[in-house]
C-alpha cells in the first residue's frame, strides 16, 4: 500500500533508515517512495521551490537527512545547468585575526537549509586577482561568487558584469549601482574616530590604513582628511607600512615614527593585528595608553578590550556582512529580475 505524506511524517529516524533497502544508494526515487510524493515534487522541495509548501519541504529534508541522501551534482548539473555551489574567493592570509573565518562561517550558516553549498577558493597576493574568478566562470564550477578586497575599478567586477555572472562583493566599486554588495562605511568610521579623539584633546594623529589601491582604504583616507580639517587636527597616513604587513613590521614602523615625532598623541588602526603591534611599540617607549596616547581601532572579533582596556574600539559586524552577501547571491539566482541587494553599514557619532 502506498504511504502518504502524513504517515511518512510520523516515521522515527530509525524507521526512516529501515526504509532503505540493503545496498541501496538513496536517490530522489527513494525519498519519493518513503514520502508518498512524486519525484518532481521531491526534487522541487529539495531545491526550495517557492510553489512547494514549507511542511512538504521540511518532510522531504527530514527524510533526505535521515536516509543519508546526497545529491548527484553531475545529475543536477545535467538537469538544471546549475551546480548549486556558491564560491567564496578570499585572500590566503596567515593572520589569525583576519575576518575570513567569520565571513565564511556566516555565509555558510545563511546557506544552511537551502540547496546551495559553499566552496572556498583562495586567492594569492602574487597572482592575478582575476584568475580564480575566471576559473569559476569558465569551468562553471559554481553558480555564483562572493569576493572582497574590492578596488574602485575592479577588473573582477567588470569581467562578471560583462558576462552577466551572478556575484556579490564585500565592498563597493565605481559600478556598485549595478551589482549586489555589502559594505562598511569606512569614511564614516574615520570621521567618527577623529571626532572622538578630538573630544579627548588629541592633536596629532598617526593612521595605519590598508593598501591604498583598495576602495575601503581610499574611503578611510577621504574621511580622515575631511574630518581632520574640520577638527583642525594634524594627521599622517603611513606610507611605508599598511595593515596587511606583519605585526613586526608595523611595530618597528610605529616605533620609528614615535622617535621622530614624539608629539604624536593618537594612532588609528584598521585591524586588531595593527592595533596590538602599535600598543607594543607605544609601551616599549614608556608611554601610557589612554593617558599619554590613544589607540583607536576597528575590529571584527571582540578581543582588543581584553588585551588593553584603555583602547578605543569600533566593532564591524562581519557576521551581518556574510549573511547579507549570501542572501544577495541566492536572490540573484532565484529572482534575477529583482534589483540587486545592497547595504551600507554606517557607524554613528553620538553627541
Q: Encode pLDDT of 189-240 as tens digits.
A: 999 999 999 999 999 999 999 999 899 999 999 999 999 999 999 999 988 8
Report d(CA 189, CA 346) in Å as an integer: 8
Cα angle 97, 102, 106; round to 5: 175
How many separate domains does the chain show?
3
Report CA 282 to chain centroid distance, whole Å.
32
pTM (global) more than 0.85: no
Q: What is the mean pLDDT of residues 24-30?
A: 82
- Are the C-beta atoms of residues 294 and 323 closer than 8 Å to each other? no
Domain end point (choices 20, 47, 70): 70
Do both 135 and 208 map to the same domain? no
Q: Do residues 45 and 112 share a domain?
A: no
pLDDT in tens, 130-158: 999 999 999 888 999 999 999 999 999 99
The residue among 32 and 133 whose pLDDT is bigger is 133
Enclosing domain of residue 22: 5-70
Whose CA is closest to 227, among 266, 170, 176, 189? 189
Q: Give dist(CA 154, CA 137) in Å, integer.
A: 16
Asked whether residue 114 falls in the same domain as residue 156, the answer is: yes
pLDDT band of 81, cuts 50, 70, 90: low
Same domain, 131 and 85: yes
What's the CATH number where 299 sits? 3.40.50.2300
- Three-state DSSP class for residue 314: strand
Quickly list H helices, the chain. 5-9, 13-18, 28-35, 39-46, 54-67, 73-80, 100-111, 130-139, 155-163, 186-199, 215-231, 247-260, 272-284, 304-307, 318-334
Is residue 139 assigned to a domain? yes
CA 96, 100, 103, 104 dihedral sign is negative
Amino acid at each position: 500500500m502506498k504511504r502518504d505524506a502524513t504517515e511518512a511524517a510520523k516515521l522515527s529516524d530509525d524507521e526512516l533508515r529501515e526504509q532503505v533497502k540493503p545496498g541501496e544508494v538513496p536517490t530522489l526515487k527513494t525519498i519519493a517512495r518513503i514520502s508518498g510524493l512524486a519525484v518532481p515534487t521531491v526534487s522541487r522541495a529539495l531545491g526550495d521551490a517557492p510553489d512547494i509548501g514549507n511542511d512538504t519541504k521540511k518532510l522531504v529534508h527530514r527524510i533526505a537527512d535521515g536516509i543519508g541522501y546526497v545529491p548527484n551534482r553531475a545529475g543536477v548539473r545535467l538537469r538544471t545547468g546549475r551546480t548549486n555551489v556558491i564560491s567564496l574567493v578570499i585572500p590566503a592570509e596567515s593572520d589569525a585575526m583576519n575576518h575570513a573565518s567569520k565571513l565564511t562561517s556566516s555565509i555558510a550558516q545563511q546557506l544552511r537549509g537551502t540547496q546551495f553549498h559553499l566552496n572556498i577558493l583562495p586567492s594569492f597576493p602574487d597572482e592575478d586577482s582575476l584568475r580564480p574568478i575566471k576559473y569559476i566562470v569558465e569551468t562553471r564550477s559554481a553558480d555564483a561568487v562572493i569576493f572582497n578586497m574590492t578596488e574602485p575599478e575592479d577588473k573582477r567586477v567588470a569581467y562578471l558584469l560583462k558576462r552577466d555572472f551572478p556575484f556579490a562583493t564585500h565592498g563597493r566599486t565605481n559600478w556598485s549601482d549595478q551589482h549586489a554588495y555589502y559594505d562598511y562605511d569606512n569614511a564614516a568610521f574615520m570621521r567618527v574616530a577623529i571626532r572622538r579623539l578630538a573630544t579627548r584633546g588629541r592633536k596629532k594623529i598617526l593612521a595605519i590604513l590598508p593598501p591604498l589601491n583598495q576602495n575601503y582604504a581610499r574611503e578611510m583616507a577621504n574621511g580622515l582628511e575631511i574630518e581632520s580639517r574640520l577638527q583642525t587636527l594634524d594627521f599622517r597616513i603611513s606610507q611605508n607600512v599598511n595593515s596587511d604587513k606583519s605585526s613586526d613590521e608595523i611595530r618597528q614602523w610605529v616605533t620609528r615614527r614615535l622617535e621622530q615625532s614624539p608629539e604624536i598623541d593618537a594612532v588609528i588602526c584598521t585591524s586588531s593585528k595593527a592595533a596590538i603591534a602599535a600598543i607594543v611599540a607605544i609601551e616599549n617607549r614608556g608611554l601610557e595608553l589612554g593617558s599619554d596616547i590613544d589607540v583607536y581601532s576597528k575590529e571584527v572579533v571582540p578581543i582588543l578590550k581584553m588585551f588593553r582596556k584603555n583602547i578605543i574600539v569600533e566593532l564591524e559586524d562581519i557576521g551581518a556582512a556574510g549573511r547579507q552577501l549570501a542572501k544577495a547571491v541566492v536572490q540573484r539566482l532565484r529572482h534575477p529580475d529583482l534589483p540587486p541587494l545592497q547595504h551600507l553599514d554606517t557607524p554613528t557619532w553620538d553627541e
